Amino acid sequence: MSTPVRVLVGKPGLDGHDRGAKLVARTLRDAGFEVIYLGIRQKPETIAAVAVQEDVRIVGLSILSGAHVALTEKVANALRAAGAEDVLLVVGGTIPKRDVPRLEAAGAAAVYPTGTPLETMVESMRELSADVQAPS
């Protein structure tokens, strides 16, 4: 009934471990999302620019280096600067529990630490995008 939700999946920073990001990209595609996969080592400004250009609903970041808080802040700022503050930001990776509130404060709508079942993540992203779409 609806047009597929567009998601950008990418890895900011220098961490090159992309198994999770690729798995997520593929799982989302199979679940009916339209996925734009940017790859590794993307600058926050590039992520924001592509998000705007491709008019995505959700930006998904995968970070395994431990730099998740700073990188999430940077991407959130870049999205704001690009006028895309309505884009939902979600973050996954090697994220200790204590950092989840920090990521949420930085602008993450949802956080998926290692061990999150893929179906839980898909369900969460469906709900998030449905909430956003509801007014129309």
* Residue 53: CB minimum distance to other proteins, A: 15
Q: What is residue 99's DSSP assignment?
A: G
Task: For residue 113, count CB atoms less than 10 angstroms from its CB and return exposed for 0-12, middle for 13-18, buried for 19 or more.
Answer: middle
Q: Which residues contact 39 (CB under 8 A, 6 or more apart)?
A: 10, 11, 18
* Residue 133: CB minimum distance to other proteins, A: 25
> Which residue lies nearer to other proteins by CB, 39 or 101?
39
Measured distance CA(40)–CA(58) in Å, rounded:
18
Site residues for other proteins, window 49-88 (CB under 8 A)? 65-67, 70-71, 74
> Which residue lies nearer to other proteins by CB, 57 or 68?
68
Vertex 86, ends 22 and 70: CA angle to 5°? 60
Binding mask 95-114 for other proteins (x = CB under 8 A): xxxx--------------xx
For other proteins, the binding residues (CB under 8 A) are 9, 13-19, 21-23, 25-27, 35, 37-41, 43, 65-67, 70-71, 74, 94-98, 113-115, 117-119
